[in-house]
Structures are given as structure tokens and as C-alpha cells.
Amino acid sequence: MNWDRTVFLHIGWAEHYDGTEAPTGGHAYLRQAVGVEAENFLPVDGWCYGYAPVSRTSEGRSAPGIPVADRTLRIEKLGAALYDYEVDRVTVIWTARHPERGPVIVGLFDGATVYRYMPPDEPVRPFIAKARVADCHLVPVSQRTFDITQKQKGFPGMAAAWFPAQHQDGPARDMLVAVAAYLPSVHRYSHTGEKH
């Protein structure tokens, strides 16, 4: 597993992520509106476009040509140069808080393009990552059993994005070994959560 090209993105909970339901969870924006991640696994012209409520940074707010409200992701942690706007061949592991437990893995984008800023000129809804439909894998609700440790030092915290490369030799090491062993089972599922 190449943790240098992997990011965990935490989103609201939904069954299908195909636009048919409103995600739920602890994010404040989910109490005010339908989360855009509601359509993370909805195909559009052969692609799935994934949203997560990543942070706004001072660099993002002051960059020329980038709207003030655009969210930003520090893709240099995935091997991009500081001036790059996107990075390819990234594994995106989607997590969400299970209604009866803590965070679990709910899906996977393989070979994704991940963006520093949500592209302002795309003809689709806001997104921070995209992948070909064939490379998108949604874990069925009944199989969402891989728990993610959260809010402990060295593990995912409150931020929507977590970069495992920075933690693979720390307290999260055993969890990451288990994630690497688990992910091949996720590849059995399509973007709809059906077995291939």
C-alpha cells in the first residue's frame, strides 16, 4: 500500500451516495443543508465526483483567481508540488460515522485525481476528488464493519482529511496495516455497492 499517495476523507453517512438521500452526521453543514457528498458515487459521464468538507486555509483564501469560499486540500502531502492544483493516481478512502458506532470505511476511489481547490469551472457540483466509475467502490451498509480509530494522537481527528503517510510509523501503524489488508475486499464492490 502506498500511503504517500493515499488520503482518508471523512463525510456524512448515507447508504447509497447516489443523490437519493441526505447524508447525516456531526458536520455542522449537514444540519443546515444537504451535504454535497450525497452524490459522491453518482456517475456523471463516466466519472464519480467526490466531495468532503476539507479546510479553508489562508493560502486558499489569498490565491489569485480562487474564490474566497473555495475549500482547499494540502495535496503537497500526496506528492504534489506547492504550485500544483491537482495530483493523480491517489487512493481516496472514504469514511463516515456509522449511526450506531464510530467512523467506518464506506468506500474507495482508486487512481483518483485530487484537487487543491474545488475546481471553479467544472460543469458539475463541488468536488475535491474524481475517479473513473470503474475505479469507485462503495461498501454496502451491511458490510461497513471496518472501524477507524479517531480523536487519538496520531489517528484521524476532527478534520475531514487525514494523510496516513505522516502517521504510518506512529500509533496508527497497526490500524494502517489492517486497512491495507481490508481494502482488497472493498474492490469486490461497484460504485453502487453491488458485487462485481
- Three-state SS at 165: helix
**DSSP secondary structure string for all residues of 10-69:** EE-B-SS-SSSS--BSS-THHHHS--GGGGTT-EETTEEEE---PPP-HHHHHSTTS-TT
The pLDDT tens digits along the chain (196 residues) read 999 999 999 999 999 999 999 888 766 666 666 678 999 999 999 999 999 988 655 454 455 544 444 568 899 999 999 889 999 999 999 999 999 989 999 999 999 999 998 876 666 788 999 999 999 999 999 999 999 998 888 888 878 899 999 999 999 999 999 999 999 999 999 999 999 7
Q: What is the pLDDT of residue 60?
A: 45
Q: Which of these, 97, 126, 124, lies nearest to 35 by C-alpha position?
A: 126
- Three-state SS at 137: strand
Q: Which of these, 51, 49, 194, 188, lies nearest to 132 by C-alpha position?
A: 49
Q: Hey, which residues does 162 pair with through a beta bridge? A: 8
- Three-state SS at 51: coil
The C-alpha R_g of the chain, in whole angstroms, comes to: 16
Q: How far apart are CA 28 and CA 159, in angstroms?
A: 12
> Per DSSP, which regions of 65-177 are E strands?
86-97, 103-115, 129-132, 136-138, 161-162
Q: What is the pLDDT of residue 40?
A: 96
The answer to whether the CB of 7 falls within 8 A of the CB of 114 is yes
Domain boundaries, the chain: 3-186
Q: How many residues does the chain have?
A: 196
Q: What is the pLDDT of residue 66?
A: 44
For the record, the C-alpha cell of 159 comes out as 478534520
Q: What is the pLDDT of residue 121?
A: 67
